[in-house]
Amino acid sequence: MNFVFDPSKPIAIGCDHAGFEYKTALVKWLTDKGFQVKDFGTYSADSVDYPDFAHPTASSVENGEASFGILLCGSANGVAISANKHQKIRAGLCWQNDVALLVRKHNDANMICIPARFVSLALAEQMLELFMTTEFEGGRHANRVGKIACS
């Protein structure tokens, strides 16, 4: 199952309170570029539990409603762990451009997880651009990716 960005489908996005500011900015950044975005919340900076937003966002990618997903929280670990509980999700935690590139090239990630407390908004946008425009390399990586799912 190779992920290929389909611009005809919306991009799913979700966050907790720590990612709210960046999520709001990224939604605008994406819509200004002409992309559709499905926002799964949260919708304020009030404290919330990240799985409540990570799971619906991941489900929309897993069931094909969204082309790919973006998750944000303070460290991005919580949302990544939650999203990766879904069998058809490969969520990669990205904190620099090279990592965003490799989670696509080598891991065929279909969700990018961004640590809002540890990267600038400009870097988040750069990583997202790389994630959206980088293709899965396949080859030796395809066999490895094929071994990820438990079922």
Structure tokens at 129: 């651009």
Helix, strand, coil: what percent of the chain each, to 5? 40, 15, 45
Phi and psi for 18 in degrees, rounded to 5? -70, -25
Concerning whether 106 is annotated as a catalytic residue, the answer is yes
Structure tokens at 95: 């904190």
Catalytic residue among 15, 55, 73, 86: 73
Interatomic CA distance for residues 125 and 23, integer angstroms = 11
Residue 114's DSSP bridge partners are: 72
- Find the DSSP H helices in 6-148: 20-32, 51-62, 77-83, 97-105, 121-133, 140-146
Interatomic CA distance for residues 147 and 151, integer angstroms = 10
What is the C-alpha radius of gyration for the chain, rounded to an integer number of angstroms? 14
What residues are annotated to the active site?
73, 106
